Amino acid sequence: MSTRIKHEKLQAFVDEAAAMCGPDEVYVCDGSTGEYDRLMALMLESGSATPLKKRPNSVLFRSDPSDVARVEDRTYISTPDRADAGPTNNWVAPDELKATMKGLYRGCMKGRTMYVIPFSMGPIGSPIAKIGIEITDSPYVVCNMHIMTRVGTRVLEALGEDGEFIPCLHSIGAPLEPGQKDAAWPCAPIEKKYISHFPDENLIWSYGSGYGGNALLGKKCLALRIASAMARKEGWMAEHMLILRLTSPGGKQYHIAAAFPSACGKTNLAMLQCTVEGWKCETVGDDIAWMKIGPDGRLYAINPEAGFFGVAPGTSYDSNPMAMDTLHENIIFTNCALTDDGDIWWEGFDGPVPAHAIDWKGRDWTPGSTEVAAHPNARFTAPARQCPCICTDWEKPEGVPIDIFVFGGRRAGVVPLVNEAFSWDHGVFLGATASSETTAANIGSVGDLRRDPFAMKPFCGYNMADYFQHWLDMGDRLGDKAPRIFYVNWFRKSAAGKFLWPGFGENSRVLKWMCERIDGRAGARKTAIGLLPEEGALDLEGLDVPGENMKEILAVDTAAWKAEIPSLEKHFAQFGDRLPPRMKAQLEGLAKRLG
């Protein structure tokens, strides 16, 4: 039975969506386990989900091969003035985009149930949390939202009769005629997909895709694109950042928030197993941080999500044991391979490669095949509370105080292992100029170098130049309580194409240096690009990395950096007069230091 709505504006949103989309039924979600089980049973029965014998209450979905990742080319920031979306976002005027999308939405839920999902981003009642309502015709989305957010009656109760919510309308865009057999993964073709944001109205309209950030609208659409625009207006921060707690052997806690582009190591770093003696890492969040200045003037962060939508390939007991131990039960896997004994598998999984599997497209697969068994953007949806290293207080409403910000990306060359900013402004410059090779998290080419400022290029809901200014303003407000800023690159490669740094748990050595830096206990040498660990400052005890590799990843190649200047100038030029003069001054400073 559908839950009753006692909120007039919410009822109006539901009524209007139902009138436009024309579903057979409207169902308001209560968020119960029974509801999850019923919907999952329907999907198992129809064959769109496959049960996994080896993992209790866990299933595998295979998406349509055209619907496997976010679609940045079809993602829009629709502001009345194009300049407010800025040069890094796609833009269509709100009236025009709404007219186009209304045409698509008309009758789009025919033959389907329209689900109304009340959800909270952040612990219900947290001063940093926000409530959204997602309307969707996908039961897969409902089940994923159950894991990724806090869903149901308790959210409606928190909303009361006139509380504020962010309306999020989603349709897979695949109406069903009477008697028509449904697809295993219904969706619309790429040219009909639209992931649209109207920041002036705090409104999200998504059409045509059932996958990840395109469809789970609490995640990138609300918690980053809409929230970043709200955060600027309201004086807080919404960032594409993991949050972790590091505890020293002496028991001192450090909280680190790190922004890396999609599929560049956030989940892995958040669940790090320290290889440095006596240090411990615990997870608060793996993808998004919402941060507000607290009563003591420090910056406090919450994880607005309740689950992990993590990259599967490459995840193993070797690389990320904590993630592996999160995945034993109650998991939704998407686009992984299926083994003959009823388990999932992907490239990089522990143990022997199965002699036979069903690949992510549902076909027979054997080792040596020219194609991968799991899609490179195959993912798991897992409850955060199942992670063995989740902080016991990860849901505390006031959040955790951030000591350190880390930016980074995936760069085979040039960028050293770690680099500390000289100042807040220099740190903002490092974030603003972050670069990375593209990954399978977005539909498009993989391995192309691009600027991805603050790992927010696909997620900033307003003009990126104004976002740089917002960072500068936050620093001015935080003053000497501002977190220190670092830049890392775990992905340097040798001429032969091998990673020079072992990464994963060994990254704890770099985090330890950062903590010792803020305590004034570790040395650094000044270079043109920032402060690098001085000889002997990085704890390499017990690490088996050849000296020449260490030398290479801790070197600053002046000629290579000089060669980056034109690309940095071009990057900044796109923002015209809107670029904060303090960023321009930083670029000039870098050029001067490089000589």
Residues belonging to the active site: 264
Distance CA 165, CA 222 (A): 11
Stretch that binds ligand SPV, among 86-94, 212-220, 468-476, 503-511 (CB under 6 A): 212-220
Binding residue for ligand GTP (CB under 6 A) from 36, 260, 405, 487? 260
Residue 545: exposed, middle, or buried by beta-carbon count in 10 A (0-12, 13-18, 19+)? middle
CA distances from 482 to 299, 472, 524 (A): 7, 11, 20
Q: Find tokens 């609208």 and name the residue.
A: 217
Both tokens of 587, joined, read 């670029």
Binding residue for Mn ion (CB under 5 A) from 64, 287, 420, 539? 287
Using CB under 6 A as the binding rule, whether residue 292 contacts ligand SPV is answered as: no
- Given a contact cutoff of 8 angstroms between Cβ atoms, the answer to whether 434 and 454 are in contact is yes
How many positions of this chain bind ligand SPV (CB under 6 A)? 9
Beta strands in 363-505 (DSSP E): 364-365, 379-383, 400-401, 404-408, 418-420, 435-437, 449-451, 484-488
Residues 6+ apart with CB under 8 A from 308: 267, 286, 287, 323, 326, 380, 381, 382, 384, 387
Residue 123 interaction partner, one of ligand GTP, Mn ion, ligand SPV, none, beta carbon < 5-8 Å per kind = none
Q: What angle do CA 290, 455, 81 make, to 5 degrees?
A: 80
Q: Considering the complex, what minimum distance in angstroms separates the CB of residue 320 from ligand GTP?
A: 7
Q: Find tokens 């507000």 and name the residue.
A: 292
Residue 91 interaction partner, one of ligand GTP, ligand SPV, Mn ion, none, beta carbon < 5-8 Å per kind = none
Name residues contacting ligand SPV, limited to 501-560 (CB under 6 A).
Answer: none
Binding residue for ligand SPV (CB under 6 A) from 287, 359, 403, 466? 287
**Distance between terminal CA atoms of the chain?**
71
Using CB under 6 A as the binding rule, whether residue 262 contacts ligand SPV is answered as: yes
Identity of residue 6: K
Q: 70: closest CA among 185, 212, 231?
A: 212
Residue closer to ligand SPV, measured from CB, 113 or 209 = 209
Binding residue for ligand SPV (CB under 6 A) from 212, 307, 313, 530? 212
How many positions of this chain bind Mn ion (CB under 5 A)? 2
Residue 292 interaction partner, one of ligand SPV, Mn ion, ligand GTP, none, beta carbon < 5-8 Å per kind = none
Stretch that binds ligand GTP, among 257-265, 470-478, 513-521, 581-589 (CB under 6 A): 257-265
Q: By Cβ distance, which residue is nearest to Mn ion? A: 287
- φ, ψ of residue 302 in degrees (nearest 5): -115, 155
- 518: β partners: none
Using CB under 6 A as the binding rule, whether residue 139 contacts ligand SPV is answered as: no
Stretch that binds ligand GTP, among 295-303, 309-317, 443-451, 573-581 (CB under 6 A): 309-317
Residue 268 interaction partner, one of Mn ion, ligand GTP, ligand SPV, none, beta carbon < 5-8 Å per kind = ligand GTP
Residue 384: exposed, middle, or buried by beta-carbon count in 10 A (0-12, 13-18, 19+)? buried
Distance CA 303, CA 3 (A): 28
Using CB under 6 A as the binding rule, whether residue 583 contacts ligand GTP is answered as: no
Residue closer to ligand GTP, measured from CB, 60 or 263 = 263
Name residues contacting ligand SPV, limited to 13-72 (CB under 6 A).
Answer: 70
Distance CA 215, CA 169 (A): 9
Q: Considering the complex, what minimum distance in angstroms separates the CB of residue 455 from ligand GTP?
A: 8
Distance CA 517, CA 496 (A): 33
Using CB under 6 A as the binding rule, whether residue 206 contacts ligand SPV is answered as: no
Residue 219 interaction partner, one of ligand GTP, ligand SPV, Mn ion, none, beta carbon < 5-8 Å per kind = ligand SPV
Residues that bind ligand GTP (CB under 6 A): 260, 262-268, 286-287, 310-311, 313-314, 319, 441, 490-491, 499, 503-504, 507
Residues that bind ligand SPV (CB under 6 A): 70, 212-213, 219-220, 262, 287, 309, 441
Residues that bind Mn ion (CB under 5 A): 262, 287
